[in-house]
């Protein structure tokens, strides 16, 4: 659960936002507010503003903003739950209910178990029994300092080494089984990890939450064995070495993603401390979210033929939606990042990372490299495959660019040959697009009706209505019923819904009440709304006219939608039905426009 079972209101009440912000920003008073230089973007004159009364902050320069939790999230680069936990600890706020307190206790207990198990594995690596493991780590170039730094350990061969050692420390088998470290069997338990090199996996604040074990011989399968998912660890939510890479990532403005523990360690060792590793899973939406908040750019250093690379290529939409620029590092055939760093040196890897290309270019190059020395027929097939790849890009500058790029790369012959090739590529793209349209058409039509109004700045009619409703809720109350959440741009809907909810429940609309109703992303919007300079006179008039404009915009969208459907109607009955509604909406709209003209001019 977000917030980890803490009473967010209590944290808010006890915290002084100025006290939390001022170690990071030199604030000076400006009226009822405080201002300073924004810690989240470079600036010379202060646009970072704190509203101590409402416990909010907002930067007019980079538009960042929110409440105290958001500030901690951004300044300490942690997620929401961690920010809550950090503040709770700092302010001495206990988890809410006894049940949740118990839950919290159990988590603390699990952390203790993993820490103790980690120490056990580390000690085992130094014993005689771990010779093969030591030798292996040496061949992979790990220095004693690196082994220590990454807390690499060894799980002894046998069935109960960890079980017995932990039993002596007061952790019974039952509890160890819940932690995923031992497995129940008839009359007892046995160790999950046996004769394996152990890589501890940490959460983003560096606490061990799971282990990955690598086998030492091909006979022992699987090669990699992870802790099972549990209360602290979900494989798809965690990236290996993320805790160590966090700061470096922000500094470098990018993250390097590799696939294995040893790849990550080798990269860190060579100074690429912005490296993290997936652990045998594809990049999940949770991973992307974790990265998106810290860096704008990802460099994937995956094995070209791996399942992970295939999955990453299919995730293009996911990256795009997250606004991430993703490039692929072209690793030399058959080498992984670990080998590149160790065998060819730091500079070689640096060069490869800097030469990383957009995913589409990497895909096209791979097709080309595969067929370039082949027969004409093979080359033609390759070209068709490349064109189909291109067709997956939306029409636009990027697709245009890579169409030309493809012709340039492929068409070494005459200009006429080049032109013919370009025509062939365009034809293939058109065909692919047509196939896609056929399947997508029906669904799209249904969605049009729900289309959101375009993104508008808060300073427009949307901002005027919302800030009016918050500041002067008594005056605004009668007008709320005229609006629906879909009238607002997506980022403002939550705020509107929360305001309406408070009014419907007969509660007072205040920043404090809204904060507890809003999801974290919407709090930044709220902060911005509250910091906007809004007139305190002619309030009712300004709310009324903004509401009218919003309703008018809704009707205009509806008229456009109905007109389109009218043109596409398949039967006479359908056309008549649409026509009636169209007439009704049109007259509604003209009435509204008439009122506005009379009322204003
Ligand atoms: Zn800023």
Report pLDDT digits (tens) over 175-223.
Answer: 999 999 999 999 999 999 999 999 999 987 789 999 999 999 888 888 9
Q: Output the CA 36–ligand 1 centroid distance in Å.
A: 10
Q: Mind listing the pLDDT tens digit for each residue in 466-502?
A: 888 888 888 888 888 889 888 888 778 888 988 888 8
Q: Output the CA 25–ligand 1 centroid distance in Å.
A: 11
What distance in Å separates the CA atoms of residue 226 and residue 233, rounded to the nearest whole number? 10
The domain segmentation of the chain, as residue ranges, is 8-91, 98-233, 237-355, 377-441, 461-600
Q: Output the CA 40–ligand 1 centroid distance in Å.
A: 5
pLDDT higher for 73 or 524? 73
Q: Does the pLDDT at position 330 exceed 50?
A: yes
Residues 168, 173, 174: CA angle, nearest 5 degrees: 135
Q: Mind listing the pLDDT tens digit for each residue in 93-151?
A: 888 777 777 777 888 899 999 999 999 999 999 999 999 999 999 999 999 999 999 99
CA-closest candidate to residue 13, choices 99, 87, 111, 107: 87
Which band of pLDDT confidence, cut at 50, 70 and 90, is reported for residue 587? confident
Q: Output the CA 62–ligand 1 centroid distance in Å.
A: 4
Q: Output the CA 47–ligand 1 centroid distance in Å.
A: 7
Q: Does the pLDDT at position 457 exceed 80?
A: no
Round the CA-based radius of gyration of the chain to a whole number and report it: 30
Question: According to the CATH classification, is domain 237-355 in 3.40.50.1970?
Answer: no
Q: What is the pTM of this model?
A: 0.63
Decide if 358 contacts 277 (C-beta within 8 A): no
- DSSP reduced 3-state for 310: helix
pLDDT higher for 517 or 458? 517
Choosing among 3.90.580.10, 3.90.1150.10, 3.30.70.560, 2.102.10.10, the CATH entry for 8-91 is 3.90.580.10
Classify the C-alpha dihedral 515-519-521-526 as positive or negative.
Answer: negative
Question: What is the reported pLDDT for 180?
Answer: 95
Which band of pLDDT confidence, cut at 50, 70 and 90, is reported for residue 449? very low
Q: Output the CA 58–ligand 1 centroid distance in Å.
A: 8
Question: What is the reported pLDDT for 512?
Answer: 77
Judge if the upstream peptide bond of residue 222 is cis by omega within 30 degrees of 0.
yes
Mean pLDDT of 54-80: 89
Query: Range with the lowest mean pLDDT among 62-66, 331-335, 459-463?
Result: 459-463
Question: What is the reported pLDDT for 428?
Answer: 81
Question: What is the reported pLDDT for 440?
Answer: 58
Paired strand residues for 300: 257, 328
Q: Output the CA 298–ligand 1 centroid distance in Å.
A: 23
Q: Output the CA 456–ligand 1 centroid distance in Å.
A: 20
Which band of pLDDT confidence, cut at 50, 70 and 90, is reported for residue 459? low
Q: Output the CA 49–ligand 1 centroid distance in Å.
A: 9
Q: Output the CA 84–ligand 1 centroid distance in Å.
A: 22
Q: Does the pLDDT at position 351 exceed 60?
A: yes
Q: Output the CA 123–ligand 1 centroid distance in Å.
A: 47
User: pLDDT above 90 covers what percent of the chain?
Assistant: 35
Question: What is the reported pLDDT for 175?
Answer: 94
Mean pLDDT of 151-179: 96
Q: Does the pLDDT at position 18 exceed 60?
A: yes
Pairing label, strands 297-300, 325-328 = parallel
Question: What is the reported pLDDT for 127?
Answer: 96
Q: Output the CA 73–ligand 1 centroid distance in Å.
A: 15
Q: Output the CA 501–ligand 1 centroid distance in Å.
A: 31
Decide if 466 contacts 533 (C-beta within 8 A): no
| Chain position carrying tokens 């007109």 | 563
Q: Output the CA 43–ligand 1 centroid distance in Å.
A: 8
Mean pLDDT of 67-75: 92
Question: What is the reported pLDDT for 155?
Answer: 97
CATH of domain 461-600: 1.10.860.10
Q: Output the CA 60–ligand 1 centroid distance in Å.
A: 7
What distance in Å separates the CA atoms of residue 97 and residue 113, rounded to the nearest whole number? 24
Question: What is the reported pLDDT for 137?
Answer: 95
What distance in Å separates the CA atoms of residue 509 and residue 495, rounded to the nearest whole number? 11
Q: Output the CA 13–ligand 1 centroid distance in Å.
A: 26
Q: Output the CA 6–ligand 1 centroid distance in Å.
A: 29
Identify the burial level of 573 via C-beta atoms within 10 angstroms of its C-beta, where 0-12 means exposed, 13-18 middle and 19 or more buried: exposed
Mean pLDDT of 84-96: 86
How many other CB atoms sit within 10 Å of the CB of residue 221?
9
Which band of pLDDT confidence, cut at 50, 70 and 90, is reported for residue 455? very low
Q: Mind listing the pLDDT tens digit for each residue in 275-323?
A: 999 987 888 888 888 888 778 899 999 988 888 888 888 888 888 888 8
Which range of 213-227, 385-399, 503-517 scores highest in mean pLDDT? It is: 213-227
Query: Range with the lowest mean pLDDT among 15-29, 158-172, 552-566?
Result: 552-566
CATH architecture observed for domain 98-233: Alpha-Beta Complex (3.90)
What distance in Å separates the CA atoms of residue 5 and residue 94, rounded to the nearest whole number? 9
């Amino acid at each position: 659960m977000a917030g980890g079972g803490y009473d967010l209101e209590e944290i808010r009440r006890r915290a002084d936002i100025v006290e939390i912000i001022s170690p990071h920003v030199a604030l000076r008073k400006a009226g009822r507010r405080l201002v300073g230089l924004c810690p989240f973007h470079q600036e010379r004159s202060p646009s970072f503003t704190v509203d101590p009364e409402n416990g909010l902050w907002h930067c007019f320069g980079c538009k960042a903003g929110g409440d105290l939790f958001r500030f901690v999230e951004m300044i300490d680069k942690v997620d929401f739950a961690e920010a809550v936990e950090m503040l709770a600890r700092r302010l001495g706020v206990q988890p809410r209910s006894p049940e949740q307190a118990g839950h919290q206790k159990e988590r603390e207990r699990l952390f203790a178990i993993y820490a103790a198990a980690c120490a056990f594995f580390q000690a085992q690596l130094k014993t005689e029994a771990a010779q093969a493991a030591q030798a292996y780590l040496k061949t992979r170039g790990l220095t004693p300092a690196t082994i220590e730094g990454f807390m690499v350990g060894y799980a002894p061969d046998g069935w109960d080494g960890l079980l017995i050692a932990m039993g002596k420390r007061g952790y019974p088998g039952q509890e160890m089984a819940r932690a995923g470290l031992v497995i129940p069997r008839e009359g007892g338990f046995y160790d999950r990890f046996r004769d394996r090199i152990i890589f501890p996996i940490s959460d983003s604040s560096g606490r061990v939450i799971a282990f990955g074990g690598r086998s030492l011989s091909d006979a022992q399968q699987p090669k990699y064995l992870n802790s099972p998912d549990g209360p602290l660890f979900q494989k798809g939510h965690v990236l290996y070495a993320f805790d160590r890479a966090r700061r470096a990532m922000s500094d470098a403005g990018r993250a390097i993603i590799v696939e294995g523990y040893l790849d990550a360690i080798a990269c860190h060792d060579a100074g690429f401390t912005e490296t993290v590793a997936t652990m045998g899973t594809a990049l999940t939406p949770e991973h992307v979210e974790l990265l998106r908040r810290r860096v704008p750019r990802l460099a994937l250093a995956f094995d070209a033929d791996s399942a992970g690379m295939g999955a990453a290529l299919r995730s293009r939409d996911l990256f795009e939606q997250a606004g991430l620029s993703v490039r692929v590092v072209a690793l030399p055939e058959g080498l992984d990042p670990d080998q590149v760093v160790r065998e060819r040196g730091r500079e070689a890897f640096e060069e490869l990372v800097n030469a990383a290309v957009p995913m589409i270019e990497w895909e096209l190059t791979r097709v080309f490299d595969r067929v370039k020395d082949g027969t004409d027929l093979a080359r033609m097939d390759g070209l068709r495959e490349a064109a189909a790849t291109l067709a997956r890009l939306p029409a636009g500058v990027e697709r245009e660019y890579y169409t030309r790029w493809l012709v340039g790369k492929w068409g070494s012959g005459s200009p006429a040959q080049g032109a013919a090739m370009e025509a062939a590529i365009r034809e293939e793209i058109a065909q692919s697009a047509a196939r896609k349209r056929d399947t997508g058409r029906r669904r799209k039509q249904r969605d049009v009706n729900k289309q959101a109004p375009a993104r508008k700045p808060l300073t427009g009619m949307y901002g005027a209505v919302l800030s009016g409703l918050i500041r002067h809720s008594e005056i605004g109350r009668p007008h709320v019923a005229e609006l629906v959440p879909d009238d607002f741009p997506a980022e403002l809907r939550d705020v509107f819904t929360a305001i309406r909810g408070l009014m419907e429940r007969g509660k007072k609309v205040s920043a404090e009440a809204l904060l507890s109703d809003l999801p974290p992303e919407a709090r930044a919007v709220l902060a911005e709304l509250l910091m906007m300079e809004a007139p305190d006179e002619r309030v009712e008039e300004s709310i009324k006219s903004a509401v009218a404009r919003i309703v008018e915009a809704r009707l205009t969208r509806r008229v456009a939608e109905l007109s389109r459907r009218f043109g596409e109607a398949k039967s006479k009955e359908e056309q008549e039905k649409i026509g009636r509604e169209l007439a009704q909406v049109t007259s509604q709209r003209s009435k509204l426009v008439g009122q506005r003209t009379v009322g204003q001019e």
